[in-house]
Structure 1
Amino acid sequence: MTETVGDYLLQRLRDWDVQQVFGYPGDGINGIVAAFGKADNQPRFVQSRHEEMSAFQAVGYAKFSGEVGVCLATSGPGAIHLLNGLYDAKLDHVPVVALVGQTARSAMGGSYQQEIDLQALLKDVASEYLVEVNVAQQLPNALDRAFRTALARKAPTAVIIPADLQEQEYTPPEHAFKQVPSSPPSTPRAVVLPPEDELAHAAEVLNEGRRVAILAGQGARNAAEELARTADTLGAGVAKALLGKDVLPDDLPYVTGSIGLLGTKPSYELMRDCDTLLIVGSNLPYSQFLPEFGQARAVQIDIDGGRIGMRYPTEVNLVGEAKATLRALLPLLSHKTDRSWRDTVERNVADWWSTLRDQALLDAAPINPMRIVHELSHRVPEDAIVTADSGSSTNWYARNLRMRGRMRGSLSGTLATMGAGVPYALGAKFAHPERPVVALVGDGAMQMNGMAELVTIARYRNLWQDPRLVVCVFNNHDLNQVTWELRAMGGAPKFEESQSLPDVPYAEFAKLVGLEGITVEEPGDLARAWDVALTADRPVVLDVHCDPELPPIPPHATFDQVKSMTEALVKGDPNAWHLLVQGAKTKAQEVLSRSR
């Protein structure tokens, strides 16, 4: 049988050890879809309900596996649908390869059906590498370079293959003029180290510090042991950027938790009071949550020299891989014998966890959303993967979920798009079918696209050794984060026509598609619901009815934020009195914690 370009494409994907391709069919990729059939579905074609979900699933897979995620879409609308997920990969620095069909070459330029300028469409999101393959001999080099670039640059890349070419006989490149060969797939990993004199300068700055703070981001994930040893040597506290929430476990007493808009009070205090800052693998955009300019001497470690020294006036910039750089730096650091700074950090952390517990157990109508994550934290398996969506529920993921053991967690960090939580969970399950996965999703994101992907979960659940995948819906009938942003940033009351959501029985929908569904309307039922969901023999949807008026405003809220929210209430917010009561009760727990 003649090997087509589509056949060879799948063979090359197998050579790259691609286990699954997340996609949706269409006539612009008929030749590739037919090749899946001839190849006995190797790699596996994972059919989502929408190409945007395919891209998010590829991003989730890449984040949790450390390998390239691959997504596939047809020409025209299929390619357009990929964009949001690919931008999520671009902004969070995730290796994804997008394979996209195109109108047949003979019809290009003729305003043919579904013909759009794909290179113009994709050139920003796939700026690191974008190519259209127009002859078979191009394919090996184009595809290999897409993979190698995605891995090396931690970025999405795209390969466009016209529909008619997919069905033509594959011809390899020759040893000839204007033909470009490619070497077999491989993923060499370079260890990048800064020069010795720069390491010595960094050590000098850190050794002179009396109150050292460390900010760890996702770039430090492979350096957890070295990061902990550095913190112990320097007597430092460690705050985590949201994408680095799983870098160090939260049961370490000096880990202050998340930083930034969704951050914790101890992280705010750590940055407020430090005199020296070490940034490892983080590009946190909110410089206002870092020390005041000039307050702290700063050292930064990052693998990408283009992203170093751009958030804080750092004195020493070390371009290097986090693990190797910290290993080289550690012998140069002096162990700090004065532990008063560390003692203060640990006391602040202990007080904060007590405050969060007390806040989570406050009465609400009907259920306190903080309690949802509080109860999960006591029960979540130590090898679980937790995904979060964008919305007010993200606050409780960021602050209340205690990472421990081998737990992993992620979300759409920089793009902060709604709708990534459930497809991320699917990607996580394909990356680690032997591990439990939990998705924390607001009802807005669930209605946007999470419900449709429950169908995908039901379709593929029998492939996973561990059947546990829990989708927890924070059901408050409100686009809650936007409501709070209107109040706290714009001084405007809730606009119900824009913010209120229709009532949907998520648990019942889950049962309709073959999953388990549990509706929780009383706080006393919440703990047992988590126990049942985390021991179930199939994926479960927890539909938790919770109070929309628990303020997700950070503990370090500015005067302007409080003033704006007050103005919103005065202007006639429909839930003003309940909001005031819940807000006062929540903030009171912070005051009480300081007086203990």
Structure 2
Amino acid sequence: MNVSDHLVQRLSEWGVRRIFGYPGDGINGVMGALGRDDHGIAFVQARHEELAAFMACAHAKFTGMPGVCLATSGPGAIHLLNGLYDARMDHQPVVAIVGQQARSALGGEYQQEVDLSSLFKDVASEFVQTVSVPAQLRHVVDRALRIASERRTVTCIILPNDVQELDAVAVPPREHGSVRSGIGITHRAQVPDDAALDAAADILNAGRRVAMLVGAGALHASDELMAVADRLGAGVAKALLGKAALPDALPYVTGSIGLLGTAPSSELMEGCDTLLMVGSNFPYAEYLPEEGKARGVQIDTDAARLGVRYPMELNLVGDSRATLAALVPRLRQQTDLAWREEIEDKVARWWRVLEERAMQPAEPINPQRVFWELSPRLPDGCILTCDSGTAATWYARDLQLRRGMMGSLSGGLATMGPALPYALAAKHAHPDRPVVALLGDGAMQMLGINALITIAASWKHWRNPGLVIMVLNNGDLNMVTWEQRATAGDPKFSPSQDLPTFAYAEFARQLGLGGIRVDDPEQVGPAWEQAFAAGRPVVLEMVTDPNVPPVPPHVTGAQMRAYAAALLKGDPDARKAMLGSAREWWAGVVANLKGRRG
């Protein structure tokens, strides 16, 4: 074996079954080894290295196992960075393997020579190493995978192209200066000690208005979350990455929190006297209780993320599922249900408001209706991926996820572009499950069109070809347009915001995929049904109105003043934007009137 063969073998021994990447001469040795591999590792060719890194991140999100991406030296390595930062900021284990010029050329300003150690030192700050000699490879691979897994972060292996072809040293020598690592299973403490659990229970039992905030770290703890919420009579808000932690149909689940969140979630945090935060790194202080008004308990596997977002009274380091299970017997059953009933009433009224908003007229389709009509049609066990922008707002608010579904997007980085590579990774990781990708036309033009080519080339090999790609075609970089108005007080700047016209559904049909274009609101529901029944991947192009505002859960005076100033400064869509805002307001009035009559 040479070093590249040894690399592939060691990755296989760690359980790696697929690598996402793009070839180049700086990584040819590893490509050759993958071609010779009989260890069951599949190479998944992306259209761009950024897509490969997004796919590795999504693989980690949807499997819990490290994702691995591969790129050539220089430009290929540089292209990985955005997807790797997505993984790092969402705390996902990803290993990047990148080529480098020959050792003898380094420092000579050689073609495609980039200082990769410096380049990756931030995104892979926990571990980035260059393999200089064959005996080094085993422990570099072992540490890269172990650190990525245990610290839930990004690591990087740099392989000069001449090292890739050297004879392998499978077992490092037993001598001074040699490192001999192993794959051995890691076991860690899952539950805090009894004294800490008792102290946490005392705080929670004393609360009369308990709020829970759950995130991605609690996705595997649904039963335990429900048990704690029922004991405490609590309401539960969800950070965006934790949307699938609890079914949205539960009457005490207030939905997402934050700028893209719901009014009941904001009111839950404003009114609580106790906050239990589980597996979340939600950063926005203005949507958490005012300091001093609520006692706090936080649970996280990483002590470094405890007590950062709110001054908690007690912090517990442990797995959310195991810690909550140990906590439940210590919690007293709340008998005063006034707080819970208040929460459930607000949640019920909010769903009426969302339905009324979704059914308001628009030119031609209200984007909220696209998501509202999707909810009851979601296949059991489906996986949803979403992009950044207004699509994320409607995903956060209007979609009701059921038990057994999965969903994710770019949380911490909030970058454009991951919806389709996430969906591709989901199909590779869970080939029997239907997948739905939700994105705007900006993200589709940025990376999605390229990803469609990969889908067209591979879908016939999938056991279940069910993949629906829904594109909001509004001709506008819509989230930024609204931010310009409501945050900066500036009118829409058309040269930066308007998008070129593109026939998304037609392009999909040219690739051999399904393509459906919808510009009639009455056809939204039937189009979803047609797409799910197609028996092949389908691009569902929804022609939507860019002047339906993604209204935050509570509009501040500063936002209102900025918005008014923007429209008065000559916004090209001022009249339509005002009409869209008026319809949103009126929908809330109508929904509340209907609720009182009911």
TM range (shorter): over 0.9
Q: Structure 1 residue 463: deviation in Å?
A: 2.8
Q: Structure 1 residue 591: deviation in Å?
A: 2.7
Q: Which string of whole-angstrom CA distances, capped at 9 and with x for unpartnered residues, describes residues 21-48 of structure 1?
A: 0000000001011111112694111111
2:443 is matched with 445
2:370 is matched with 372
Residue 15 of structure 1 aligns with an amino acid whose one-letter code is E
Using the TM superposition, name which of 527-536 and 88-97 deviates more.
Answer: 527-536
Residue 474 of structure 2 aligns with an amino acid whose one-letter code is N
Residue 495 of structure 1 aligns with an amino acid whose one-letter code is F
2:518 is matched with 520
Residue 321 of structure 1 aligns with an amino acid whose one-letter code is D
Q: Secondary structure at the match of 2:245?
A: coil
Report if aligned partners of 1:16, 1:186 keep a CA contact under 8 Å in 2. no
Q: 2:50 aligns with which of 49, 52, 72?
A: 52
Report if aligned partners of 1:433, 1:463 keep a CA contact under 8 Å in 2. no
Q: Structure 1 residue 201: deviation in Å?
A: 1.5
Structure 2 residue 176 is the aligned partner of structure 1 residue 177: yes
Q: What pairs with 1:138-537 in structure 2 (closer than 5 Å)?
A: 138-172=136-170, 173-183=172-182, 185-537=183-535
The number of residues matched between the two structures is 593
Q: Secondary structure at the match of 1:447?
A: helix
CA distance in 2 between counterparts of 1:67 and 1:201 reads: 34
Report if aligned partners of 2:380, 2:405 keep a CA contact under 8 Å in 1. yes
CA distance in 1 between counterparts of 2:516 and 2:360 reads: 23
Q: Secondary structure at the match of 2:237?
A: strand
Q: Secondary structure at the match of 1:455?
A: helix
TM-score by length of 1: 0.98
2:118 is matched with 120
Q: Structure 1 residue 330: deviation in Å?
A: 1.0
Report if aligned partners of 1:477, 1:502 keep a CA contact under 8 Å in 2. yes
Residue 428 of structure 1 aligns with an amino acid whose one-letter code is A
Report if aligned partners of 2:386, 2:408 keep a CA contact under 8 Å in 1. yes
Structure 2 residue 100 is the aligned partner of structure 1 residue 102: yes
Q: What pairs with 1:542-581 in structure 2 (closer than 5 Å)?
A: 542-581=540-579
Residue 391 of structure 2 aligns with an amino acid whose one-letter code is S
Report if aligned partners of 1:36, 1:42 keep a CA contact under 8 Å in 2. no
Q: Which string of whole-angstrom CA distances, capped at 9 and with x for unpartnered residues, describes residues 24-79 of structure 1?
A: 00000010111111126941111111100000011111101111100000000011
TM-score by length of 2: 0.98
Q: Secondary structure at the match of 1:261?
A: coil
Q: Secondary structure at the match of 1:243?
A: helix
Q: Secondary structure at the match of 1:246?
A: helix
Report if aligned partners of 2:246, 2:403 keep a CA contact under 8 Å in 1. no
CA distance in 2 between counterparts of 1:593 and 1:210 reads: 30
CA distance in 2 between counterparts of 1:385 and 1:587 reads: 33
Q: Secondary structure at the match of 2:110?
A: coil
Q: Which string of whole-angstrom CA distances, capped at 9 and with x for unpartnered residues, describes residues 488-515 of structure 1?
A: 0000000000100011000111111121
CA distance in 1 between counterparts of 2:125 and 2:422 reads: 23
Give the direction of change, closer, same or farther, for the CA distance of 1:32–1:222 in structure 2 (3 Å limit).
same
Give the direction of change, closer, same or farther, for the CA distance of 1:547–1:187 in structure 2 (3 Å limit).
farther
Q: Secondary structure at the match of 2:587?
A: helix
CA distance in 1 between counterparts of 2:184 and 2:416 reads: 35
Residue 483 of structure 2 aligns with an amino acid whose one-letter code is E
Q: Secondary structure at the match of 1:22?
A: strand
Report if aligned partners of 1:467, 1:536 keep a CA contact under 8 Å in 2. no
Q: Structure 1 residue 313: deviation in Å?
A: 1.4
CA distance in 2 between counterparts of 1:154 and 1:279 reads: 19
Report if aligned partners of 1:148, 1:187 keep a CA contact under 8 Å in 2. no
CA distance in 2 between counterparts of 1:503 and 1:492 reads: 25
Report if aligned partners of 2:353, 2:592 keep a CA contact under 8 Å in 1. no
Residue 544 of structure 2 aligns with an amino acid whose one-letter code is C
Q: Which string of whole-angstrom CA distances, capped at 9 and with x for unpartnered residues, describes residues 469-503 of structure 1?
A: 11100000000000000000000000000100011
Q: Structure 1 residue 243: deviation in Å?
A: 0.8
Report if aligned partners of 2:262, 2:553 keep a CA contact under 8 Å in 1. yes
Report if aligned partners of 2:259, 2:553 keep a CA contact under 8 Å in 1. no
Residue 252 of structure 2 aligns with an amino acid whose one-letter code is Y
Q: Secondary structure at the match of 1:294?
A: coil
Q: Which string of whole-angstrom CA distances, capped at 9 and with x for unpartnered residues, describes residues 183-232 of structure 1?
A: 2x354342332232221111111111111000001111121111110000
1:65 is matched with 63
Residue 250 of structure 1 aligns with an amino acid whose one-letter code is D
Segments of 4+ in structure 1 off by > 4 A? none
Q: Secondary structure at the match of 1:348?
A: helix
Q: Structure 1 residue 559: deviation in Å?
A: 1.4
2:79 is matched with 81
1:134 is matched with 132
Report if aligned partners of 1:443, 1:475 keep a CA contact under 8 Å in 2. yes
Report if aligned partners of 2:20, 2:68 keep a CA contact under 8 Å in 1. yes
CA distance in 2 between counterparts of 1:118 and 1:415 reads: 22
Q: Structure 1 residue 582: deviation in Å?
A: 1.4
CA distance in 2 between counterparts of 1:527 and 1:336 reads: 42
CA distance in 1 between counterparts of 2:412 and 2:428 reads: 24
Report if aligned partners of 1:277, 1:297 keep a CA contact under 8 Å in 2. yes
CA distance in 2 between counterparts of 1:429 and 1:474 reads: 22
Q: Structure 1 residue 110: deviation in Å?
A: 1.1
CA distance in 1 between counterparts of 2:194 and 2:40 reads: 48
CA distance in 2 between counterparts of 1:462 and 1:127 reads: 39
Report if aligned partners of 1:191, 1:324 keep a CA contact under 8 Å in 2. no
CA distance in 2 between counterparts of 1:462 and 1:175 reads: 50
Q: Structure 1 residue 135: deviation in Å?
A: 0.7
Residue 116 of structure 2 aligns with an amino acid whose one-letter code is L
Q: Secondary structure at the match of 1:591?
A: helix
Residue 554 of structure 2 aligns with an amino acid whose one-letter code is H
CA distance in 2 between counterparts of 1:305 and 1:30 reads: 41
CA distance in 1 between counterparts of 2:257 and 2:174 reads: 55
CA distance in 2 between counterparts of 1:170 and 1:572 reads: 68
Unaligned ranges ≥5, structure 1: none
Using the TM superposition, name which of 49-58 and 187-196 deviates more.
Answer: 187-196
Residue 180 of structure 1 aligns with an amino acid whose one-letter code is V
Q: Structure 1 residue 12: deviation in Å?
A: 1.2
Report if aligned partners of 1:476, 1:548 keep a CA contact under 8 Å in 2. yes
Q: Structure 1 residue 554: deviation in Å?
A: 1.1
Q: Which string of whole-angstrom CA distances, capped at 9 and with x for unpartnered residues, describes residues 433-485 of structure 1?
A: 11011111100000001000001111121232110111100000000000000
Q: Secondary structure at the match of 1:98?
A: strand
Report if aligned partners of 1:198, 1:318 keep a CA contact under 8 Å in 2. yes
Unaligned ranges ≥5, structure 2: none
CA distance in 2 between counterparts of 1:79 and 1:198 reads: 45
Q: Secondary structure at the match of 1:222?
A: coil
Report if aligned partners of 2:12, 2:39 keep a CA contact under 8 Å in 1. no
Report if aligned partners of 2:52, 2:80 keep a CA contact under 8 Å in 1. yes
